[in-house]
Amino acid sequence: MDYVLFLAGFFLLIKGAGWLIDGATSFAEKYSIPHVVIGLTIVAFGSSAPEFAVNVMASVQKNSSLAFGNIVGSNIVNIAFILGVVSIIYPLTVQKATLKNEIPLVIVTSLVLFSMANDHFLDGASGNIISRIDGIILIGFFLVFLRYIRHISKSSTNSSDEEYKILPLWQSVVYIFIGLGGLILGGDWIVGGAVAIARFFQISEGVIGLTIVAIGTSLPELAASTVAAMKKNSDIAIGNIVGSVLFNMLWVLGITTIVYPMELKAENNVDLLVMTSLGILLFVFIFGNAKKMLLRVHGVFFLIIYFAYNLYLILNVAKG
């Protein structure tokens, strides 16, 4: 049954991603909305639903380690693994506004989060806590981000010259909702099946959490961006990832810490530094080439970093 669940989850995930991208693209074309805006909002927020659900439950249960690990781990998966895979499939053209505003916002938000997570180092506090006030600040940044999206929706254009099929409005909306549902449910089935299979083969809980669950909650983003890349829609592919990363740090983490303040350990800084460094590398890679693209060579480098990071985590678990 676990194998059936695992395979069915992949089928639902792939079909859901296809429906979501078709519906979202058609909706954008019908109302002349830039694809990057759709990627930053509908696709990004919808595909981040698993992280939001996991974090709300973790905060209600006062499980700071799970809540923090889910957000930072998912963001590392989003940038290093997903953008790595997607850019190898199809090099991504990045709009000027994304390079100038959205990616730097990822870097700035990561640095703000790093400062919030280091009370002991910065002001001599007895511990490191992301407080409710910090959570409110993050929500404030999120509202600014939404206002920015409203602004670019009026000024951005699509970077692709591809012709996209325009569906009736009702069909576009149905595709979007069914697609989101397929992504969320498919991802849940895959994680459930994979965890059960891993336990059957007596793989440790620590390794399961650091690998299967971390990737599992990011499967919707992977599916959505991969399908978008295969359809040569760079704006949705990159917008989905950048939007998901910002949504995770600003909205999901903000709500989580308002529900229950998050106490962190010193070793969490390694994860924060990896996440921040990936944001900086993403900017450098794109800014450093004339075409302003995320190339296949960049994707390979991201994947090397991702697997090296996971090896570090697994070795730490083995030592513990």
pLDDT interval class at 279 (50, 70, 90): very high
Q: Which domains are delineated in the chain?
A: 2-319 (1.20.1420.30)
Looking at residue 184, its pLDDT comes to 75
Looking at residue 161, its pLDDT comes to 47
Q: Over the stretch 185-207, which tens digit does the pLDDT of each residue have?
A: 876 777 677 667 667 777 655 55
Sequence-separated contacts (24+) of 166-172 with Cβ below 8 Å: 166/26, 166/29, 166/30, 167/22, 167/23, 167/26, 167/30, 169/27, 169/30, 171/23, 171/26, 172/23, 172/24, 172/26, 172/27, 172/30
Quote the strand ranges of the chain, DSSP E.
92-93, 128-130, 262-264, 293-294
Over residues 138-143, mean pLDDT: 92
Contact 296, 87 (CB under 8 A): yes
For the cut 80, the answer to whether the pLDDT of residue 55 exceeds it is: no
Q: Over the stretch 100-134, which tens digit does the pLDDT of each residue have?
A: 888 999 999 999 999 888 876 666 566 778 889 99
Q: Which residues contact 178 (CB under 8 A, 6 or more apart)?
A: 16, 19, 23
Count CA atoms closer than 13 A to 87's CA, side-chain side: 27
For the cut 60, the answer to whether the pLDDT of residue 228 exceeds it is: yes
Tell me the β-bridge partners of 293. Answer: 93
